Amino acid sequence: MPPRFTPARVRYDRRYRTLDKYRFILGFLALPLLFYAIFVISPFFQAIWYSFTDWSGGATANFIGFGNYEKMWNDERFWDSTTTSLLLLFVAPLITLVLGIFFAFMITSGGRHRKGQAISGVAGSSVYKVVYFFPQVLSIAIIAVVWQRVFSTRSGLLNGGLEAVGLGDFEQAWLGGEYSLALIATLTVLCWSFVGFYVVLFSAAMGAIPKDIYEAALLDGAGRGKTFFKVTLPLIWDTVRTGWIYMGIQALDSFAIVLVMVPKHALKVTPVFLYERFREGQFGYATSIGVVLLVLSVVFSLLIMRIGNRDRIEY
């Protein structure tokens, strides 16, 4: 006699299959989640705890409450470095993303109309992708050393080039002189080193847009600029918002570039200030600065998610 499939029996079978599926998934995720909790989540809580202590690297760490944060609040060096970091946080993503979107649009849709192709990139677009992405294969320390030579006052390529073309009056001490010049040099290197990544990222997002949408826009009489702002940008907005957050965190963590390239007296950012406190043995104070950097990163991410929130466009 065949089994009777009553509604209650069907609901029971579904519930059992669902439970069995989650057990199967949990079995695979348990070990990775354990490692993630130990090696990623746990250090965050340890850093927060040490930020409330006077730990100096020894076996003991005395709880001092908000003493480190009060010291930080009254430390002018911290505020000077944080002001620079905040400038990089908001300016560097803006410049990098604008350049990345522009280059990506030219590579994917900026070429002339070819026979049989209503939309195409500029000639040699595949080569441009490799050229733009090249800085990503270099160590950030190597990039900082190379650009330090470029901005060098006496033998640098930039000042030497200005003198060679008769513009010697514009030579500057780019790294060891004024604060504004060191900030411009840091922004230049930061944007140059990361723009290639976003060119590839945005090119992939634009390449996923169906060509039919572009062709329909062209048939309606839309020009290249209108097509970009009315079609391309709305369809890749989620990618742009993600890139904005990622680049903001990279700008906030401009440790290697500033430490290697810029002299100490010319420019300070918060990660370098934190590193110097570690070298002095002020581990509790340094971890409190790290907690502030964590809070800044989270606030910035939430702010961009809030500002950039818009209805998702499906295609």
What digits encode the pLDDT tens for the residues 216-261?
A: 877 777 777 788 888 888 888 989 999 999 999 999 988 889 998 9
Apex 53 CA angle, 84 and 81, nearest 5:
5
| CB 207, CB 110: distance < 8 Å | no
Give buried/exposed letters for 152-182 (b at 16+ CB in 10 A, else e).
beeebebbeebeeeeeeeebbbbbbeeeebb
CA distance 268 to 263: 9
| CB 263, CB 148: distance < 8 Å | no
Which residue has 């963590």 as its token pair?
A: 253
**99-148 confidence digits (pLDDT tens):** 999 998 888 876 666 555 556 667 777 788 888 888 888 888 899 999 98
Choose between 305 and 265: higher pLDDT.
Answer: 305
- DSSP letter at 269 equals -
Token reading at 24: 């199967």
Number of H helices, E strands in the chain: 15, 0
Of the ranges 88-102, 202-216, 251-265, which one carries the lowest mean pLDDT score?
202-216
- CA-based nearest residue to 194, from 132, 105, 145: 132
Give buried/exposed letters for 72-91 (b at 16+ CB in 10 A, else e).
beebeebebbbebbbebbee
**pTM for the model:** 0.82
Element (H, E) at 182: helix 179-207
Which residue has 């996923």 as its token pair?
A: 208
Distances in Å between the Cα of 122 and the Cα atoms of 128, 149, 192, 204 are: 9, 33, 21, 16
**What are the chain's domains?**
80-307 (1.10.3720.10)
CA distance 69 to 75: 10
Q: Residue 270 pLDDT more than 90?
A: yes
Contacts of 45 (CB under 8 A, 6+ apart): none
